[in-house]
Amino acid sequence: MSAAGARRCGDRAEARRSPISATTTVTAARVRDGLSFAGGRTTLDHMPFVDLEDRRIYVEDTGAGPPVLLVPGTGARGHTWTEQVHALVAAGYRAVTMDNRGSGRSGPVPPRLTVTDLLTDVRDVAKRLFDEPYRLVGHSMGAYVVQEHLCAGPPVTQAALFASRARPDAFSARLAAAERALHDAAPEIPAAYDAVVRAALNLSPHTLADDAEVSTWLDLFELTPRDPHDAGRKAQSTVDWDCDRRADYARITCECLVVSFTDDMLAPPAAGRELARAIPGASFVEVGRAGHIGMLERPDEVNSTLLEFFGE
| Whether the Cβ atoms of residue 124 and residue 101 lie closer than 8 Å to each other | no
**pLDDT(68) > 80:** yes
The predicted-structure confidence for 234-250, as pLDDT tens digits, reads as follows: 889 888 778 999 999 99
Q: Pick the catalytic residue: 106, 183, 264, 283?
A: 264
Of 136, 174, 176, 75, nearest to 279 by C-alpha is 136
Residue 264 among the catalytic residues: yes
pTM for the whole thing?
Answer: 0.86
The SS3 of residue 146 is: helix
**pLDDT(308) > 90:** yes
| Whether the Cβ atoms of residue 128 and residue 61 lie closer than 8 Å to each other | no
- Which letter does DSSP use for residue 99 in this model? P
Residue 51 among the catalytic residues: no
Q: How many degrees, rounded to 5, is the angle at CA 252 between CA 116 and CA 293?
A: 65
For domain 7-311, give the CATH number.
Answer: 3.40.50.1820
| Distance of alpha carbon 97 from alpha carbon 45, whole angstroms | 12
Residue 21 among the catalytic residues: no
- pLDDT for 28 equals 62
The structural domains of the chain, with segments of one domain joined by +, span 7-311
The predicted-structure confidence for 77-91, as pLDDT tens digits, reads as follows: 999 999 999 999 999
- pLDDT for 238 equals 83
The predicted-structure confidence for 181-220, as pLDDT tens digits, reads as follows: 988 898 999 999 999 999 999 999 999 999 999 999 999 9
SS3 readout for 166-230 = CCCCHHHHHHHHHHHHHHHHCCCCCHHHHHHHHHHHHCCHHHHCCHHHHHHHHHHHHHCCCCCCC
Residues 6+ apart with CB under 8 A from 53: none
Residue 218: how many other CB atoms lie within 10 Å = 18
Of 87, 15, 12, 3, nearest to 264 by C-alpha is 15
Q: Pick the catalytic residue: 140, 204, 237, 283?
A: 140
